[in-house]
Amino acid sequence: MEGFFRYTLVSADNDQHPSGPRPRIRRKDAATITDKPTAPRPATRRRGKVLEQAIYTAALSELAEAGYANFSIDRVARRARIGRMSIYRRWPGKPSLVAAAMRHTLPPIGDPPDTGRLRDDLLICFEQMTRLHTGLIWVALQAMADNPPGATGNSLTALVRHQVVEPRLQLILDVLLKAAARGEIRAEAAVPVLARTGPALILQHTLLYGAPPARPYLEDIIDRVILPAAAPPPR
Highest mean pLDDT among 28-37, 52-61, 185-194: 185-194
The band of 85, judged by pLDDT with boundaries at 50, 70 and 90, is: very high
Q: Which of 86-100, 141-155, 166-180, 215-229 shows the lowest per-residue confidence on average (mean pLDDT)?
A: 141-155
- Give residue limits of the domains in the chain: 48-100, 118-230
pTM of the shown model:
0.67
Q: Which of 44-58, 69-83, 155-169, 171-185 shows the lowest per-residue confidence on average (mean pLDDT)?
A: 155-169
Domain 48-100 is found in CATH 3.30.70.270 = no
Q: Are 88 and 150 in contact (CB under 8 A)?
A: no
Rounded CA-CA distance 54/77 in Å is: 10
Whether the pLDDT of residue 40 is over 60: the answer is: no
DSSP class per residue in 79-138: HHTS-HHHHHTT-SSHHHHHHHHHHHHSPP--PPP--S-HHHHHHHHHHHHHHTTSHHHH
Rounded CA-CA distance 11/14 in Å is: 5
